[in-house]
Structure 1
Amino acid sequence: MPSHNYKVYAVRYGHFERRSTENFLGGDTHDVPMPLDYFVWAIVGAKRTFIVDTGFDKPTGDRRGRSVVRPVDEGLAMLGIDHAKVTDVIISHMHYDHCGNHHLFPNATFHLQDAEMEFATGRCMCHHAMRHPFEADDVTTMVRRVFDGKVCFHDPESEIAPGITVHKLGGHSRGLQVIRVNTEGGAVVLASDAAHFYANMDREAPFPVFDRLGDVILGVERMKRLASSDQHIVPGHDPLVLQRFTTVGTGIADLTLPAGI
C-alpha cells in the first residue's frame, strides 16, 4: 500500500431510535422511523493509524438516552487497533458523541480547529440551547490536554499526514472540520456532522441542529469539491453506511469498498 493511500473504516458503537420529522429542518411529511447510528472512524496506513472522533461511553449514553451497542475500544480491537497505542486522534467537533472516551487514548495528540475550542469555552456556552450538545467534562479534559501539550490546533485547513487533510466547514458546530483521505478508490471525505444522513445532502434539507445555517449548506458544496464523487462522502450517523459499503465485521464497514465488490 503506498504511504499516501489509506484504508478507512467506519466503526459503529451506538444507536438511537428517532423519527424522520426530527432529522430535517422543517420536518418531514412522511414521519417514518429514521434512527441514528453513532460511529468512530479509523484511517489505517502502512505505518500509522489515525482515529477520527472518540464517541461516548455508557454513562453518557444512558444519561442522554442513547445506547452503546459496542464500546469504542472493542470495535477498534476488531480491526487490530490498540487504542492505547494510537498517537493521533482527529476530532471533527466537540459534541458529546464525538469527543468522549478521552481515557482510551492516553498517548494521542488530538487535532482540533481553533474555532471549535473557542466556541466550546466561550460565551455561547452560557446558553443551554448552545451548550446542550457538549459535555463539560469533555471540554475541560480537552483544556487539560492543551496544557499537557497534547492538542494540535488547525485553522482552517491542514495536512495531518501525506494524504490526510482537515478542512473547517463550521455550520453544525462553530469549528466543525471534515477529513479528506486518499485511498486506492479515490478521495474519501468523512463528513461527520456536516451531514448526518445521505438524505440531508440528497434533499438539500439540513439536520436541524446547527450554529450557522449558511455554513451547513455551503459545507455540503465544499465536501462535493473535496471528494472524488458524491459517493465518496460519508455522513456521520446514517445506518445506510453499513449497507453501502462492504462490512468486515459486525458494525464495521470498509469505506474503500462499496457493497457488492
Structure 2
Amino acid sequence: MYQTLYLIEYGIPIRRSENECVVKYQTRLCARKISSLPFHFFAWLYFDRYGQSWLIDTGCTASIARAFGKVVDTAIPELLAINFDLHAAEIDHVILTHLHYDHAGNINPFKRAHFYVQEVEWSYLNSPTLGAYNGDEFYVESTRRNLNQLADTKRLNLLNGSAQLSDDVSVILLSGHSPGLQGVRINLPHSTAVLASDAAHLLKNLETRRPFPKSFDIRKGVESINTLRLLESEGETIIPGHGLPSKLPHGAHHVQATSLFKT
C-alpha cells in the first residue's frame, strides 16, 4: 500500500458541454458542433513511503452537493471506510487544493489531520471582496467557518507558494481558477504524478491551452496550464481535477464508487 495513489470518485458523473468547460472554445468563425464531456468528482488518497496518509481534497457533503444541483450519496469519509477500512479521524494530512465547495466542503470529519492551504486562498475566503468575481459562487460559508475554527489550532498550515511537504509530496502554486489554487506533485516509485486539480479541469483544457471559463483570473489560468504542459513534456503525468488522464501512472488506481450511489 505504501507509495500508492488512489483517485476516489465520490459523486455521480455528469456531462458538460465544451463551452462550459473551456473558455471561448467556440467562436463566430467556428461553427463545429460542440460535444459534451464527462465531468467527474474526485478526491485523492496517497500513502507515502512511511505509511503516512495524505488526502488531497475532502469533497463535499450531500447537502452542499444538492445546493449546487449535484448528487453525492456517499461522501469521502464513508468511501474511505468502505474501500480502505480507514476512518476519517485516522487521516494524517489533508491538502486542500483550493476552497471551492466540491474540494473543501467536508472538513470536520478529519479530526487529527494537519491541513495545508495556500495563505492567499485562505485570505481570499475571508476577504470583503469575496463574491465579486467570476467563480466566487463556488465558495460556501461552512468552509469558511470550519477553516477559521481550524486556524485556532496548530493543525492549519498556511503556505506561501510552492513547497515541499515530505519526501514524496510537494505543492505547486497554479493560481487562476482561484487565487491560491495549488497542484500536488507526488513521487511514485517509477513516475511523478501531478494532481492539477482545477488548474485543468479536463484534458481538453490542457490540449487547447484554455482554462475553465469560471475563473478568478483567466490570464493566470493560462500561465498555470502552460506550467502543467511543461511538466508533462518533462515526463510527469498530469491528472486533471474532474477528468481521467490519458493513462494512469504506475502506482495509481481509480476507485470507482458509482455502484454505491443511488440512481
Q: Same fold (TM over 0.5)?
A: yes
Out of 5, 9, 12, the residue aligned to residue 8 of structure 1 is 5
Please state whether the residue corresponding to 1:60 is helix, strand or coil: helix
Q: Is the 8 A contact 1:158 1:166 kept in 2?
A: yes
> 2:160 corresponds to which letter in structure 1?
D
Out of 36, 41, 60, the residue aligned to residue 39 of structure 2 is 36
Shift of 1:195: 0.1
Q: Structure 1 pair 205/30, CA: closer, same or farther in 2 (3 Å)?
A: farther
Shift of 1:231: 6.2
Point out where structure 1 has 5 or more consecutive residues left out of the alignment. 253-261
Are 2:61 and 1:57 aligned?
yes
Q: Is the 8 A contact 1:51 1:88 kept in 2?
A: yes
Shift of 1:39: 0.2
Q: How does 1:52-201 map to 2 (within 5 A)?
A: 52-68=56-72, 70-77=74-81, 78-127=83-132, 129-201=134-206
Q: Is the 8 A contact 1:178 1:192 kept in 2?
A: yes
Shift of 1:187: 1.2
Out of 9, 21, 24, the residue aligned to residue 23 of structure 1 is 21
Deviations 1:48-92 (A, max 9, x none): 010000011110111110111532123223034322111210000
Q: Is the 8 A contact 1:188 1:233 kept in 2?
A: yes
Q: Report the RMSD for the aligned CA atoms in angstroms.
A: 2.3
Point out where structure 2 has 5 or more consecutive residues left out of the alignment. 27-31, 259-263
Q: If the length of structure 2 is used for normalisation, what is the TM-score?
A: 0.86
Shift of 1:227: 5.2
Please state whether the residue corresponding to 1:182 is helix, strand or coil: strand
Pick the structure with more strand per residue.
Answer: 1
Q: If the length of structure 1 is used for normalisation, what is the TM-score?
A: 0.86
Q: How does 1:164-243 map to 2 (within 5 A)?
A: 164-226=169-231, 229=234, 232-238=237-243, 240-241=244-245
Q: Is the 8 A contact 1:180 1:226 kept in 2?
A: no
Shift of 1:225: 3.9
Shift of 1:229: 4.7
Deviations 1:171-221 (A, max 9, x none): 110000011110022111000001000011012222101111221111122
Shift of 1:33: 2.3
